[in-house]
Amino acid sequence: MPVRTSIILFLTAFFLLRLIGITNPPLEVEHNWRQTTVAMVARNFVEVDANPLYPRIDIAGEKTGITGMEFPLLNYLIYLVSLLFGYEHWYGRLINLVVSTIGCFYFFKLIREYWSDQMALRATMLLTFSIWFEFSRKIMPDTFSMSLIIIALYWAVRFTKRTNFAWKELALFACFASLGVLSKIPSGYLLAVLAFVVFDTSQPLQKRGALTVAGVVAMVPAVWWYFYWSPHLVDTYGFTHFFSGRSWGTGIRQIGENLHMTLKKFYDTALKFSGFALFLWGAYKSVVSGKKDVLPLFLLANAAFLIIVFKSGSAFPKHSYYIIPFVPVMAWIAAYGLEFIPRKWAMALVVVVGIEGIANQQHDFRIKESEMALMNLENDLDKFTETADLVLINSGQLPTPMYIAHRKGWVMSNEEIMHTDTLQKQIDRGLQVIVILKKSYGTEMVPPLGTRVLNNDDYAIYRVGKEH
């Protein structure tokens, strides 16, 4: 079977596999909070204001919720689909899955530009089995943005390989690079590998100059958004949501203090243990093989990603999705190592990685029964409150229950809620309802103020406010 046919069948099969549970609410254990912040913004585009320059979330209390964050490209695509079919959260899952699958196909095409079809096939399979498998179906921009960057790199390569000056390829590179970095700025680190093209004297000066200019122009929207507009929104509307990184000193120190958990993101989270072993083998072969088509690129990608790691600081070992931008590099290097192993054994090793990877991510397809109980919260609130009533939920810093409740307000810990003065301040700001979660996202308590209007095994609802 031709390799191109094999990759299309493989990606189609894994696309269909990940459609299982695609309509599930964003309540899976891993990073439900991150998904609901994306979904909040999308839903507010539908219900409040569709201007993408003013994204808003639901946990800013009496404020508008407008705040600085990653450019809401994925969120806005959800909004656009909602214009046709009405809002549903799972559009975000499906859009991400479609784009991430296309990204894998372009990953295959990109590697095939320089290496064998078999290496491209294996690398793409490894990428699909990686953490990419799980996060490509979440309402999150991580694999989404990396896919856009991979597509951009492919068109940059095609631009350099065309004998004529290919305006279409150059424009596609600039467009996808700009959208990828806008969606999630750390994803743009991989564009650093284009330095080898820019400084390659065998390339015509005109092409190198054009690629440089296109790359700089592509970064302008992201620079404006992240370094001017996003901080402006925070200052103007008084609510901070977006994490913009640590200082160099703090970041390096925090990585050192959490070195084991940082390394675990590479040897466990990314490709699991079997995949990491192949990655180490590939890294070793890139050093000892004597070929210059892999090692320089690998070293540059490592150096560029190290900047992301240090700027992330303690957030990197804490959150599994921070490793996602580096996973395509790991899959590529692992596949390179497989080039030095007999074909039969190489594919067997890829299958082993696939079995381990999927076995450790299959939980993402299921929602716990205790979590699903929250799906009744909105209907129960509708019985006793108006949609515009501001709500306080004892979910700590987690926004997930607020999104499920389809309300706006505050999220706090039990300890904070137990302080009468703190609670009274929120009432003075317009608080009218308290939701006390008993199992998921919170533990049972009785607030010092309020009249209970509903009580069940999963949560209790209290009315507060001046009229109570």
Q: What is the mean pLDDT of residues 35-59?
A: 97
Task: Determine if residue 119 is left, alpha or beta; phi over 0 gives left, psi from -120 to 50 gives alpha, anything else beta.
Answer: alpha
Render pLDDT for 111-166 as a digit per residue (tens, 0 to 9): 999 999 999 999 999 999 999 999 999 999 999 999 999 999 999 999 998 878 88
> Are 353 and 393 within one domain?
no
Whether the Cβ atoms of residue 337 and residue 279 lie closer than 8 Å to each other? yes
Angle at alpha carbon of residue 27, lines to 447 and 330, rounded to 5°: 130
d(CA 111, CA 202): 21
Q: Please, are residues 142 and 130 in contact by the beta-carbon 8 Å criterion?
A: no
Average pLDDT of every residue of the chain = 95
**Angle at 457 (CA atoms; ends 452, 461), nearest 5 degrees:** 25
Structural domain total, the chain: 2
Under a CB-based contact definition with an 8 Å cutoff, are residues 283 and 298 in contact?
A: yes
Q: Per-residue pLDDT averaged across 202-220, rounded?
A: 93
What's the chain's length in residues?
468
357 within some domain: yes
Q: Kindly state the average pLDDT of the residues 280-293.
A: 91
What sections of 376-444 are H helices per DSSP? 377-384, 400-405, 414-417, 420-428
> Does any domain span residue 218?
yes
pLDDT at 221: 98
What single letter denotes the amino acid at residue 103?
Answer: G
Q: Are 170 and 210 in contact (CB under 8 A)?
A: yes
pLDDT at 179: 98
Q: Is the dihedral of CA 214, 220, 226, 229 positive or negative?
A: negative
Bigger pLDDT: 442 or 202?
A: 442
How large is the average pLDDT for residues 2-7?
90
Are residues 403 and 356 part of one domain?
A: no
Label residue 29 by pLDDT band (50, 70, 90). confident
Domain interval for residue 134: 3-240+251-365
Same domain, 333 and 351: yes
Which token pair is 289? 């093989």
Q: What is the pLDDT of residues 369-420, one digit of tens each?
A: 888 999 999 999 999 999 999 999 999 999 999 999 999 999 999 999 999 9
**Contact criterion met (CB below 8 Å) for 440 and 374:** yes
pLDDT score of 200: 86
Residue 290: per-residue pLDDT:
75
Rounded Cα distance between 21 and 367, Å, is: 9
Alpha-carbon dihedral sign for residues 196, 201, 203, 205: positive
Both 439 and 299 in one domain: the answer is no
In a domain, 183, yes or no: yes
* Residue 165 lies inside a defined structural domain of this protein: yes
Same domain, residue pair 361 and 387: no
Q: How many other C-beta atoms can be found within 10 angstroms of the C-beta atom of residue 202? A: 7
Tell me: the pLDDT tens digits for 154-206? 999 999 988 788 899 999 999 999 999 999 999 999 999 999 988 888 888 99
Find the radius of gyration of the CA atoms of the chain: 24
Mean of the pLDDT values across residues 221-243? 95
* Residue that is last in its domain, among 365, 387, 419: 365
Same domain assignment for residues 272 and 393: no
Say if 411 falls within a structural domain: yes
Both tokens of residue 77? 């695509």
Dihedrals φ, ψ of 399, to 5°? -85, -5
Q: What is the pLDDT of residue 368?
A: 86
In sequence order, which residues have a C-beta less than 8 Å from that of residue 240 and are 6 or more positions away? 67, 68, 234
Are 301 and 410 in a shared domain? no
Which region, left, alpha or beta, applies to residue 69 given φ > 0 means left and ψ of -120 to 50 means alpha? beta
* In a domain? residue 245: no
Report pLDDT for 4: 85
Helix (H) or strand (E) holding 272: helix 272-288
Backbone conformation region of residue 272, classed left if phi is above 0, alpha if psi is from -120 to 50, else beta:
left
The answer to whether residue 1 scores a pLDDT higher than 80 is: no
Same domain for 393 and 295, yes or no, is no
Q: Taking 60 as the threshold, does the pLDDT of residue 57 lie above it?
A: yes
Element of type H or E holding 209: helix 205-224
Separation of first and last alpha carbons in the chain = 72
- For β-strands 451-455 and 408-411, DSSP reports them as unpaired
Q: Which residues contact 17 (CB under 8 A, 6 or more apart)?
A: none
Boundary (domain end) residue, out of 345, 365, 385: 365
Residue 56 phi, psi (nearest 5): -140, 145
Q: How far apart are CA 401 and CA 128, in angstroms?
A: 31
361 shares a domain with 376 = no
pLDDT at 451: 94
Q: Do the beta carbons of residue 111 and residue 335 sit within 8 Å? A: yes
**pLDDT (tens digit, 9 = 90+) per residue, 239-276?**
998 887 888 999 999 999 999 999 999 999 999 999 99
Residue 364: burial class (beta carbons within 10 Å; 0-12, 13-18, 19+): buried
Rounded Cα distance, 232 and 329, in Å: 35
pLDDT above 80 for 466: no
**Nearest Cα to 274, choosing from 328, 338, 340?**
338
Check whether 425 has a pLDDT greater than 60: yes
CA of residue 355 relative to chain centroid, distance: 24
Does some domain include residue 106?
Answer: yes
pLDDT digits (tens, 9 = 90+) for 313-368: 999 999 999 999 999 999 999 999 999 999 999 999 999 999 999 999 988 888 98
In a shared domain, residues 359 and 375: no
Domain match, 352 and 297 both: yes
101 and 117 both lie in a single domain? yes
CA-closest candidate to residue 214, choices 179, 175, 184: 175
The arrangement of strands across the sheet holding 431-437 comes to: 408-411, 390-393, 431-437, 459-463, 451-455
Tell me which amino acid residue 279 is. F
Question: What does the pLDDT read at residue 467?
Answer: 55
72: number of Cβ within 10 Å: 23
Examine the fold and report which residue of 318, 333, 365 is the final residue of a domain before the chain moves on.
Answer: 365
